[in-house]
Amino acid sequence: MRWAPEGRPWVAGAAAVLAVAAAWAFARPHPLAFGAAAVAAVALGAFLFFFRDPERPGARGPAWCLAPADGRVVDVSRVEEPRYLGSPAHRVAIFLSVLDVHVNRYPVSGVVEYRTYERGRFGFAWRGDAGERNERASVGIASPGGRVLVRQIAGTVARRIVTYARLGERVEQGERMGIIRFGSRVEVFLPSAAVVTVRRGDRVRAGQTVLAEWRPLD
């Protein structure tokens, strides 16, 4: 199993506390020592679970937009997207619980044309206005099917968004895009010509589930 590098400080810290507590319990057996070791062991297991980064093989192609995140679809709607697409768009919003894999992946292949980070609140990520009020990072990709905007949104627990994309960089569908700690939301904005293939309530997997389809431009 691979783990996201952003989890190393958390895993190392929990492992160090566990080592100290275990040494304390071995040298001088005491309920507090055993309790500290148990808490540290649980924390270590939780961090290893949260920062897991499994490989996601699957079909790839310019006619598809894949899910950028694991989680549940909480919104599929038509909206205006003025910042990158500059037109009406389909918005697909995915909510990630603390139990989901939080490594995000590029939904399409193309060139990064837009990147921004906006400070904001840390409200509930499942709310419909979270994409405009909460702290967020947005990446716009020029793909064969049209422009696609991916927005990583922090929630009440998530306090850090990591995005690997650089302006002008060529990215590939299914590659790792970044990570959000710990619960969060990811939104995808698609051209009007796209045909959305998921519905509210569907479970999706990053790099594997097809969110939408369109005919590639010639």
In sequence order, what are the beta bridge partners of 152?
Answer: 137, 186
Q: CA 27 from chain center: how many Å?
A: 43
Which of the following is catalytic: 109, 143, 184, 192?
184
Please give the C-alpha separations between residue 156 and each of 49, 134, 136, 186, in angstroms, as whole numbers. Answer: 20, 9, 13, 14
Look-up: residue for tokens 């694991």? 70
- Asked if residues 123 and 155 have their Cβ atoms less than 8 Å apart, the reply is yes
| Ramachandran area for residue 142 (φ above 0: left; ψ -120 to 50: alpha; else beta) | beta
Catalytic status, residue 109: no
> Would you say the C-alpha torsion 148, 113, 133, 49 has a positive or negative sign?
positive
Question: What is the set of active-site residues?
Answer: 184
